[in-house]
Amino acid sequence: MQKRQLGKNGPILSEIGLGTWAMGGPGIFGWGPQDDRESISAIHQALELGINWIDTAAAYGLGHSE
């Protein structure tokens, strides 16, 4: 996985990130029911591939994706 520095002094991040909005589930800002086991498996696979930039927010499933 190729990585770059964020800004001049920021952390080194993978060029590809993992978005977790859909993992938020059926909450107000979710995408509908999701299987937590599949979500956790996707996160583990992303980490194994060298992805270290994971986009999450308190609004994604009202914090469920976090």
Q: Using pLDDT thresholds of 50, 70 and 90, give the confidence band for residue 45.
A: very high
Q: What is the pLDDT of residue 50?
A: 98
Residue 2 among the catalytic residues: no
pLDDT digits (tens, 9 = 90+) for 20-30: 988 887 766 65
- The more confident residue out of 42 and 65 is 42
CA atoms within 13 A on the CB side of 11: 5
What does the mean pLDDT of the chain come to? 89
User: Which candidate in 24, 56, 60, 61 is catalytic?
Assistant: 60
Query: How many of the other CB atoms lie within 10 Å of CB of 46?
Result: 19
pTM confidence score: 0.80
Spatial separation of the C-alpha atoms in residues 59 and 55, rounded to whole Å: 12
